[in-house]
Every structure is written in structure tokens, then in C-alpha cells.
Amino acid sequence: MGTAAHQEPNYMKVFWALLVLTIIEVILVYLPMAKLFIAVALILTALAKAFMVAWYFMHLRSERWTLVAVTVIPLLLALDLLIGLLPDIARVPF
């Protein structure tokens, strides 16, 4: 990775994005909409926030792809395990 990749991201922009998404999440909870819709919206917002923290604050964006692969692959496998098991465990259809 060249030095250009190590230029600092605009941390304040990331901060404002995280703050706005958090406010959106809290507002979503009180909206009179279908529970499933709210749950999906909340999960997508949370994943977006988690991604921003890892990508910008933890500098994953300026790491070599091998390190990114080492972090992402186990998480995908864990997610796969979860998705595979949930239909057997959960009695409520989702």
C-alpha cells in the first residue's frame, strides 16, 4: 500500500454519519409501521454503522486485502452457521 492509502479519512464526517444513523434508529423504533419492516431497517442501519467503524476508524480501508479477508471470512462463516440453524430453532416464522 502506498502512502496515499494512509491519508486520514475525514473522521468528523464519519462521526456525523454515525450520529445521524443513530438518531434515525431511535426514531424508527417509535414509528407506527410493520414490525418486520422496522426490524430489517434497524439491522441494515446497524450493519452500516458497524461497517463504517471498521472501515474508517479501524483503518481497514488502508490495509492489504489479505487482512480484510482474514477478518471478513470468519464472520461470513459464522453468519452462515446462524442462518443455517435459525429455521430449526425459531418457532416464530420470520
60 touches 26 (CB < 8 A): no
- Per CB under 8 A, the list member of 8, 33, 76, 84 interacting with other proteins is 8
For 1-94, where are the E strands, in sequence order?
A: none
Going by C-alpha positions, the residue among 26, 44, 28, 35 that lies closest to residue 94 is 35
Least gap, CB of 89 to other proteins (angstroms): 4
Residues 19-38 that bind other proteins (CB under 8 A): 19, 22, 25-26, 28-29, 38
- Per CB under 8 A, the list member of 20, 61, 64, 80 interacting with other proteins is 64
Least gap, CB of 9 to other proteins (angstroms): 9
The answer for residues whose C-beta is within 8 angstroms of residue 94's C-beta and 6 or more apart is 36, 86
Going by C-alpha positions, the residue among 54, 47, 29 that lies closest to residue 39 is 29
- Per CB under 8 A, the list member of 20, 37, 61, 78 interacting with other proteins is 78
Contact between 6 and other proteins (CB under 8 A)? yes
